[in-house]
């Protein structure tokens, strides 16, 4: 079932959202100071391509740097990406088949706003780290 949902997701929303994250990652990697944001954007782009079967957990080692970085991220790129998830989620919820995909889009909004200090792990081992 996960594979079927991931394939439908990839066609309807995942590819375009991943492209948005990749563009944000490329822009962030232009400046040396924002390279951690670019790495986070590329990590989330991979998660956005194939989200079912994986989950997001907090990193235990994240500290004040992650909080400050998340504040900068929200101002620079996070709210644009969260808006993309919101619009796509609403559009997908119009049809019965798209409702699970729309809900998945809404679940991606928190990581699009605050990506630093998070890890993406398989759902069968969310507490492994």
Instruction: Give yes or no for residue 21 having a pLDDT over 70.
Output: yes
Rounded to two decimals, the pTM is: 0.80
Mean pLDDT calculated for residue range 84-102: 90
- ∠ at Cα 52 (51, 57), nearest 5°? 65
Mean pLDDT calculated for residue range 43-65: 84
**Rounded distance, CA 84 to CA 105, Å?**
9
Token pair, residue 31, equals 């400046």
Token pair, residue 32, equals 């040396």
CA atoms within 13 A on the CB side of 29: 11
Mean pLDDT calculated for residue range 32-53: 88
E-only strand ranges, 21-117? 54-58
Instruction: Give yes or no for residue 94 having a pLDDT over 90.
Output: yes
Mean pLDDT calculated for residue range 1-24: 88
Q: Other CB atoms closer than 10 Å to residue 129's CB: what's the count? A: 11
User: Based on C-alpha coordinates, what's the Rg of the chain?
Assistant: 14
**Averaged pLDDT of the chain:** 86
Q: What is the pLDDT of residue 93?
A: 92
Q: What 3-state class would DSSP assign to 61?
A: coil
């Amino acid at each position: 079932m996960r594979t079927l949902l991931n394939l439908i997701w990839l066609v309807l929303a995942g590819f375009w959202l991943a492209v948005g994250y990749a563009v944000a990652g490329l822009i962030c990697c232009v400046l040396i100071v924002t390279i951690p944001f670019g790495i986070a954007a590329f990590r989330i782009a991979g998660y956005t391509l194939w989200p079912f079967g994986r989950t997001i957990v907090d990193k235990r080692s994240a500290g004040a740097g992650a909080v400050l970085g998340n504040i900068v991220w929200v101002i620079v790129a996070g709210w644009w990406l969260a808006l993309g998830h919101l619009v796509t989620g609403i559009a997908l919820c119009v049809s019965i088949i798209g409702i699970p995909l729309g809900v998945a889009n809404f679940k991606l909004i928190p990581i699009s706003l605050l990506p630093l200090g998070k890890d993406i792990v398989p759902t069968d081992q969310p507490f492994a780290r």
